[in-house]
Amino acid sequence: MDLDRIHTPVMLDRTVELLAPALEAPGAVLVDATLGMGGHSRAFLERFPELTVIGLDRDLEALAIARERLAAFGDRARFVHTVYDGIAEAIRGEGFDEVQGILFDLGVSSLQLDRAERGFAYAKDAPLDMRMDPSRGRTAADVLAEADEDELRRIFLDYGEEKLAARYARAIVRARADHPIARSGELVQILHDATPVAIQRQGHPAKRVFQALRIEVNEELSVLAAAIPAALDAVAVGGRIVVLSYQSLEDRLVKRELQAASSSTAPAGLPMELPEHKPLFRLLVRGAELASEAEQAENPRAKPVRLRAAERVRRAS
């Protein structure tokens, strides 16, 4: 496997630029909350020779690959098998009370997309698994077999923002009455057959459904909703957090948390802002940054990315 060919970290230079001011001091610690195959972490370990990186991932295969890629850095690279809402416990488990940098590179990893047998990609026929941690939890096939029509419609609408959610839910319930839907190719065909021809021309009919199933299987939004506040709490004064999101549901959640952390808590009408009401963080970018056109052309996985970042300016008294 040529890891450098299949795995190009998204917005790497910009991520390093934003986190660098917090990581240059001796003893700095960065949490790579979505370690994957270690592309971002390797760049940080190379750039900052005194940096310690704590890499988190729920995917044991990804952790094994990252361990191999980062072995040359010795104990400067730490590895924790956990979902990223376990970030606080992971930091404490490695002997730290707070950290100087945190990076989230959300969504499905290159490894998961490129392994056809994992069932994430609608363009490749494979068992409908979609678990980021294949050692636990129910699969996408289990969801399709167990959820009733109303629940399937909710999943497709809430997590995929799919306008044909009701139509697709009905089609799946009809199809599974004949036999279980166990492979991605079967699901793609069911969705294709249920999609009006005019809508088929607007994009692949399976894209949003596969996204919704992946989010449901891995509880991605509920995990993220717990992880971002925990991560913010772990950032030291002067420390920074950078989050890369790949779909609107993630980005909205991240935006809400960062805006709340960087806003004054002073009650409306107060004649002056008291120190205890001042924001805990300041935003480092205006809105959400996109990858450059050049990077999007070179690395298609950078096209949907939205980057947000913030710096802690004070601790609550």
Q: Which CATH superfamily is domain 3-111+220-312 in?
A: Vaccinia Virus protein VP39 (3.40.50.150)
What does the pLDDT read at residue 200? 73
Say if residues 167 and 194 touch (Cβ distance below 8 Å): yes
**Tell me: the pLDDT tens digits for 231-272?**
999 999 999 999 999 999 999 999 999 999 998 766 766 666
Answer whether residue 283 shows pLDDT above 80.
Answer: yes
- Say how far apart CA 314 and CA 239 lie, in whole Å: 10
What does the pLDDT read at residue 136? 86
Q: Which of 93, 50, 56 is nearest to 75 (CA)?
A: 50
Say if residues 69 and 42 touch (Cβ distance below 8 Å): yes
Tokens of 139: 């699969």
Answer whether residue 113 shows pLDDT above 80.
Answer: no
Residue 74 known to bind ligand? no
Residue 84 known to bind ligand? yes
Residue 38 known to bind ligand? yes
- Say how far apart CA 301 and CA 126 lie, in whole Å: 21
Give domain limits for the chain: 3-111+220-312, 117-218
Q: Which of 244, 308, 306 is nearest to 33 (CA)?
A: 244
Look up the pTM and report it.
0.89
Residue whose entry in the numeric block shows the structure tokens 């947000």: 308
Higher pLDDT, 311 or 273: 311
Mean pLDDT of 182-204: 88
- Say how far apart CA 204 and CA 64 lie, in whole Å: 33
Residue whose entry in the numeric block shows the structure tokens 């941690």: 133
306-312 and 281-283: which strand pairing?
antiparallel
Q: Which of 87, 81, 218, 235 is nearest to 155 (CA)?
A: 218
204 pLDDT band, cuts 50/70/90, is confident
Residue 57 known to bind ligand? yes
Tokens of 88: 């606080």
Task: Tell me the three state secondary structure of residue 86.
Answer: helix
What does the pLDDT read at residue 116? 54
Residues 6 or more apart from 314 whose CB is under 8 A from it? Answer: 237, 278, 280
Mean pLDDT of 5-17: 85
**Tell me: the pLDDT tens digits for 48-92?**
999 999 999 999 988 999 999 999 999 999 999 999 999 999 999
Could you tell me which CATH class the domain 117-218 is placed in? mainly alpha
CA distances from 207 to 4, 160, 175, 253, 258 (A): 27, 8, 19, 21, 29
CA atoms within 13 A on the CB side of 106: 31
Residue 247 known to bind ligand? no
- Say how far apart CA 121 and CA 114 lie, in whole Å: 8
Q: Which of 168, 255, 245, 179 is nearest to 212 (CA)?
A: 168
Say if residues 247 and 316 touch (Cβ distance below 8 Å): no
Answer whether residue 124 shows pLDDT above 60.
Answer: yes
What does the pLDDT read at residue 274? 67
User: What are φ and ψ of residue 83, in 5° steps?
Assistant: -75, 150
**Tell me: the pLDDT tens digits for 94-110?**
999 999 999 999 977 65
The residues pairing with 78 across neighbouring beta strands, listed in sequence order, are 54
- Say how far apart CA 297 and CA 307 lie, in whole Å: 18
